[in-house]
Structure 1
Amino acid sequence: MSVVRRRCAPFLLLVVLLAGCQNGVDGDPAPDAAATSAAPTTPPVPAAVVTADPPLGSVDVDPVAPLEVLADHGSLGVVRVTAADGTALPGGLDATGTTWTASADLDFGTTYTVTATAADAAGRTSTTTGTVATVTPRTFTMPTVFPNADTPVVGVGQPISITFDEDITDRAAVESHLSVVTTPHVDGSWSWLSDRTVHYRPADFWPAHTHVAVDVDTYGVDVGDGISGQAGKHVEFDIGPKKVGVVDATELVLRLYVDDQLVQTMPTSLGKDSTPTPSGTYVVMQQSRRYTMDSSTYGVPIDAPGGYRSEVEYASRLSNSGIFVHAAPWSVGQQGYRNVSHGCLNVSTANAGWFYENFGRGDVVEVSNAGATLAETDGFGDWNVSWDQWVAGSALHPGA
């Protein structure tokens, strides 16, 4: 009998052993690879954080700095900002719900309590409370603006005048908060006449019928020496027709033009040799139907040689130093021939009445070939300096 040798047994054993290894010890199935990796973890939701600008705890804060309350990692809910007396500061949230902004300026010397709630992405809420205290200045200064609501229409020569009731040591800080917008556009410049007074004018007279809007945004502005602006002002006015009077002291005829057309002539008498009328460009400052002329207002007692006190009609003031166009019936015989006044422009009563009725604040009178030039600071003598000199008086661009 023949014997058949089986040579496949070792191979089968190897397959069985390999299969056993793949199925695990003792024939158990192998664990899934995915099951052996670590399960992913969800990152924690950050808590909402409430901050403020200026930061909570701030003191000596500028009252015009816009107060904001902000939420990081969440959105704001109720925001309340109250002064010590319980007065709430108005404000509102932006479209994202992350920023609340005050809609009013803060008051000086006031501590505000800020209370704000915020919710994070998981819906958890928290409340933050803190304070912000504003500065208490040594004193305040209030601006006075001319033209104003009582002068809605002025002449082409009228400068804008702002006068403060305290000395301004930081002129640039003030000037940077002054704005003039004209329709149509007219370029101009501010120029400081003193520590309390700043004026604005164009290089030449205003164009007739210009609309002017002035903003004095000085509330809360530190003007130096511990002084802050007490309030802001907004003024609008219009420039009327171009009205200019012209007189030559060697001719003594006052010629009056409206929109460059001659409309009236008046014989006049200017200041005599001892009291000459200053030459230069004048601007009508104010008008009085009757006015008492008094030499003591410029240092000459009424009982001294050359002193006087008398009432005149139709007085149109041209300078602080007492130059007027006014009725002088006593000098009609000299008007047009000799200079006999104390410096004023003497005209007849009828002519003074015409000037009073037809010229007014901001209109111009130009005097030539008379005395020394009218000072820039005498009334509205602004036009008696060159444009370069005028611009040099600006605190923001001197010498430009």
Structure 2
Amino acid sequence: MRLAVTIMILLLLAACARVVPPAPRITMSPAADTASAATERGLTVTADGGRLTSVLAYAGRDLVPGSFDASHTRWHSSWTLRPGTQYVVNAVAAGGDGVAAQIAGRFRTLSPQHTLAIGSVTPADGETVGVGMPIIVTFTGPVADRAAVERALEVRSGVEGAWHWFGDRQVVYRTRSMWPARREVVLDAHLAGVRAGPGTYGTADRTVSFEVGRAMVSTVDTRTHQMVVKQDGEVAQRMAVSAGMGTTEEYTTTSGVHLTMDKADPVRMISPGREKGEPGYYDEVIDYAVRISNSGEYVHAMDNEWAQGRANVSHGCINARPDQAEWFYEHALRGDPVIITGTTRKLTPDNGWGFWQFTWADWLSGSELPIQS
């Protein structure tokens, strides 16, 4: 009888016993205590046998951005890691029946043999620009792995656009169509830790924000000698103009979608490749000059109203009555389109900011990333 009672008690205890599941196992890559971790793969934290509930990673004093996967078993940093930097990681995971696990680790990323940085960005931070404005990023050295660098360039605007490489030191962002007026645009260049080539890594991120202003688009018909300026679709100015005389290619205004690039008052204009006294030589100081190409073309003031609206007599520029040229000068933003028609000389994409001469398909062909159109 006593034996039967003992067996019954043992059976009841066995039935009531709970199996405690093992605690989750958390791992991180790069592993803790790594002295020269790779940067290009970022930071990954993984939970085996549970779900990650918290991951906090710091690069020095800066919080590292990242995200969980759908199952919350994996966390990955949003971008590459900063070279030559100590990282500290704290992660917590929860398993079955509330069993939790926690890790704390640190590692240091590699110090690169060669570095790459952004030398310049156009437009400038805080600038207000025209609706045709590109984003031009120039690097301090050659980029061997263009795809890796291009992936690190994030443009936040809500507008479709793409990058196009011009050589191994410069990449340009253009939208498929002109920017919408009054749009905020932010470029985040997540370059730190990007492997741009053998032994070459980006060292610093860069953020530039700018605003697209009102839509000012000018059209010039060199055959009728007229320029029409519209702001937000409404005619703001009608200007009688004179374009290039067309006696040589140099003196022929280029047809195409130009962008205003800069302006100055006054500008000294000297005939290229000619000495004083030679035929075609000129040296003039010009008022209210707005540059629209790299081949010497401006919209500017000229006191030759006898030709404006009647004949093309300039060396290639678009000249207008001084008061109207002053109005255009004062209202022009960098990146305002100036669309010129009627000549035999075409604006080439590499002449100033002639990027709108590319079709969208041709523009996409200059990207190193898969085409998505």
TM bucket (normalised to shorter chain) is: 0.7 to 0.9
Show CA shifts across 1:241-290 (max 9, x none): 22111111211111212222222222212112221011101111111122
Question: Corresponding residue for 1:242?
Answer: 215
- 1:165 corresponding residue in structure 2: 140
Code of the residue aligned with 1:212 in structure 2: it is: V
- Aligned-pair CA distance for 1:348: 2.2
Equivalent in the alignment of 2:282: 308
Deviation of 1:341 after TM superposition, in Å, equals 1.6
Deviation at 1:44, TM superposition (A): 12
AA partner of residue 133 (structure 2):
Q
Letter in 2 for 1:171: R
Change (3 A) 1:333 1:129: closer
Corresponding residue number in structure 2 for 1:210:
183
State the structure with more CA Rg.
1
Q: CA deviation at 1:304?
A: 4.7
The alpha-carbon distance between structure 1 residues 68 and 353, as it changes in their structure 2 partners (threshold 3 A), is same
**1:149/1:341 Cα in 2 relative to 1: closer, same or farther (>3 Å)?**
same
1:286 to 254, 262, 276: 262
Residues 66-108 of structure 1: per-residue CA shift (max 9 Å, x gap) = 37699999xxxxxxx999xxx778789xxxxxx9999998653
Which residue does 2:307 correspond to in 1?
Answer: 334
Match in the other structure for 2:346: 373
Number of residue-to-residue matches in the alignment? 353
Q: Does the CA-based 8 Å contact 2:86-2:106 persist in structure 1?
A: no
- For 1:36-185, list aligned pairs within 5 A: 52-56=28-32, 58=34, 59-62=36-39, 65-66=42-43, 107-109=82-84, 132-151=108-127, 153-182=128-157, 185=158
SS at 2:284 equivalent: strand
Say which is worse superposed, 207-216 or 367-376, in terms of deviation: 207-216
The secondary structure found in structure 2 opposite 1:180 is strand
1:320 counterpart residue number? 294
Query: What amino acid does structure 2 have at the position aligned with 1:361?
Result: R
**Structure 1 residues 33, 371: closer, same or farther in 2, change over 3 A?**
same
SS in 1 for 2:300: strand
The structural deviation recorded for 1:47 is 11
**TM-score, normalised on structure 2?**
0.75
Look up the match of 2:167.
194
Residues 147 and 337 of structure 1, relative CA distance in 2, 3 Å threshold: same
Kindly indicate whether residue 318 of structure 2 is the aligned counterpart of residue 356 of structure 1. Answer: no
What residue identity is the alignment partner of 1:387?
W
The one-character-per-residue Cα deviations of 1:36-69 (angstroms, maximum 9, x if unpaired) are x9x99x9999999986420245434217823769
SS at match of 1:352: helix
CA separation in 1, counterparts of 2:22 and 2:335? 66
2-side partners of 1:139 and 1:286: how far apart? 32
Inter-partner Cα distance in structure 2 for 1:177 and 1:232 = 9
Measured at CA, do residues 109 and 32 of structure 1 come closer, stay the same or move farther in structure 2, by a change above 3 Å? same
- Please state whether the residue corresponding to 1:354 is helix, strand or coil: helix
Cα 1:315–1:197 change in 2 (3 A) is same
State the alpha-carbon separation in 2 of the partners of residues 138 and 196 from structure 1: 15
- Partners of 1:115 and 1:200 in 2: CA distance: 38
CA contact (8 A) 2:349 2:356 kept: yes
Give 2:362's aligned residue: 389
| 8 A Cα contact 1:269 1:339, kept in partner | yes
Q: Which amino acid aligns with 1:307?
A: Y
- Note if 1:230 corresponds to 2:203: yes
In 2, Cα distance between equivalents of 1:294 and 1:211: 39
Distance change >3 Å, CA 104–CA 139, structure 1 → 2: closer
In 1, distance between residues paired with 2:309 and 2:64?
A: 68
Distance 1:100 1:206 in 2: 35
| Separation in 2, partners of 1:387, 1:102 | 33
Partner of 2:54: none
CA contact (8 A) 1:82 1:113 kept: yes
SS of match in other structure, 2:185: strand
The letter for the 1-side match of 2:342 is: N
Q: Per-residue deviation at 1:196?
A: 2.1
Q: Supply the RMSD in Å over aligned alpha carbons.
A: 4.4
